[in-house]
Amino acid sequence: MRQVRVHGPGDVRVDDVAPPEPGPRDAVLAVAACGICGSDLSYIAMGGVAGPAAEPMCLGHEISGTVEWIGSHVRSVRPGERVVVHPGDDQFGRIGNGAAQGGLTPRLLVTEVDRGRLFSVPDDLPLDVAAFAEPLAVGMRAADQAEVEPGEGVAVFGCGPIGLAAIATLVDRGHKKVVAIDLSPVRLELAQGLGAQAGLDPRSTDVWDELARLHGRSEFMFGPTPATSAFIEATGSAQVIVDVLDHGPVGGRLSVVALHYEPIPTSYLMLLMKQFTIRGSMEYPPRFEEAIDLLARRDLSGLVTHRFPLDRFDQALDALGGSKDCGKVMVTMDQSET
């Protein structure tokens, strides 16, 4: 059986591995699709979650598929059920995030299934779209952390899958003043297709002037600012955080969902004077199924822009890490493989 594993910094391979050996509280999933994301690129670059480990690290945490086998003690799912995976479990291992299992494989062992690790998906939801539930839940959490009130303006910096997921969430909740900011025309088009008020490329537009035009101005002792109340940082660029604090309004809120590995200079004087709130956003809403509900309610299939079979995993990485003119990149599995 094949499995994508990281062996060291910059060294990722599709390995031949032994098939899973499940126990009575486990399930085996015939994986249909598994997304890849910026976190995976970071793991590959570093050689693991925080650097190389004693054993190769299995990749893949955005997973959908069909339950193929269940242990005798399993009560929450049944064979043949179409599901997505909740990959986070501190006690029994985070799938694709440093533990023994990863979703970039045709057969995935999911341990301790009845702890809420598998969630059913509607029959009419394609499984390669259902796998978007995990990043959608991440973007949903980022939107939650921004605490956007009705009528407020929002700026989402970065329209990769997480930023797009945040935009989809905000639009679904009825927010009409959601502005997307990105360097990719493809991603800006996807954002506006979701219902974003505008899509801004900072190379050709003064973002802060345009936000003021779209959302109005707010008074500040050193001069007016855009009245945009909430910001979501999904780029990984330190400058975005600096700029938001410099240009955001009094009482503004920033939700940081992108990975930032280096310290960022911060004006705590500006933070104090503006009574600004900066909040981190990690993982998912308390109810993971909210992402599945949104996928069932709205057609977000257009956000999956690239699909590659497992034997073209290198091309999937190139699509994700190259021009970034893409939405979600999915890797699909041959379910006949053992």
Domain layout of the chain by residue ranges: 2-132+300-332, 136-280
How far is 163 from 174, CA to CA, in rounded Å? 17
- What CATH architecture is 2-132+300-332? Alpha-Beta Complex (3.90)
Q: What is the pLDDT of residues 241-290, one digit of tens each?
A: 999 999 999 999 999 999 998 999 999 999 999 999 999 999 999 999 99
pLDDT value at residue 136: 98
Spell 179-214 as b/e; 16+ CB within 10 A means b.
bbbbbbeebbbbbbebebbbbbebeeeebbebbbeb
Give the pLDDT of the chain (338 residues) as one tens digit per residue. Answer: 999 999 999 999 999 999 999 999 999 999 999 999 999 999 999 999 888 888 999 999 999 999 999 999 999 999 999 999 999 887 777 999 988 899 999 999 999 999 999 999 999 999 999 999 999 999 999 999 999 999 999 999 999 999 999 999 999 999 999 999 999 999 999 999 999 999 999 999 999 999 999 999 999 999 999 999 999 999 999 999 999 999 999 999 999 999 998 999 999 999 999 999 999 999 999 999 999 999 999 999 999 999 999 999 999 999 998 877 899 999 999 765 55
Whether the predicted model's global pTM rises above the 0.85 cut:
yes
What pLDDT score does 50 carry? 83
Q: Give backbone dihedrals phi and psi of 67, rounded to 5 degrees, phi first.
A: -65, 120
Residue labelled with tokens 């905000």:
170
Q: pLDDT value at position 89? A: 81
State which fold the 136-280 domain adopts: Rossmann fold (3.40.50)
Whether the Cβ atoms of residue 26 and residue 112 lie closer than 8 Å to each other: yes
What is the model's pLDDT at position 229?
98
